[in-house]
């Protein structure tokens, strides 16, 4: 699934903040795009390495029509040895 929707608490805290353009990461098979959004790709990669040291997918958030959901675009698979 290529859809990002954070927890209810995150949505309430950031409802007035537009997350479009932020980056997130997910396990490459489970595709759970619920990790915190990061302002830069570099920060998202660093956080992803801490959680998933072997590799993961990274993507950029793009706002959908309603304010609570974002599509994941600019997908990139990263693997580390």
Domain that holds residue 32: 3-79
**Is 33 strand, coil or helix?**
coil
pLDDT at 56 (0 to 100): 95
Sign of the torsion angle spanned by Cα atoms 36, 17, 63, 46: negative
pLDDT at 40 (0 to 100): 96
Per-residue pLDDT of the chain (81 residues; tens, 9 = 90+): 566 665 543 554 545 578 999 999 999 888 888 788 999 999 999 999 999 999 999 999 998 877 678 899 999 999 998
pLDDT at 67 (0 to 100): 66
pLDDT at 32 (0 to 100): 85
In this structure, what is the dihedral angle of CA atoms 51, 56, 59, 63, given to the nearest 10 degrees? -60
């Amino acid at each position: 699934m290529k859809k990002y929707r954070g927890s209810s608490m995150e949505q309430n805290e950031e409802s007035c903040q537009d997350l479009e353009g932020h980056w997130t990461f997910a396990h490459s098979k489970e595709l759970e795009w619920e990790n915190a959004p990061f302002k830069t790709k570099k920060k998202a990669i660093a956080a992803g390495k801490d959680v998933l040291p072997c590799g993961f997918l990274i993507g950029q958030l793009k706002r959908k029509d309603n304010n609570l959901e974002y599509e994941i675009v600019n997908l990139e698979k990263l693997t580390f040895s």
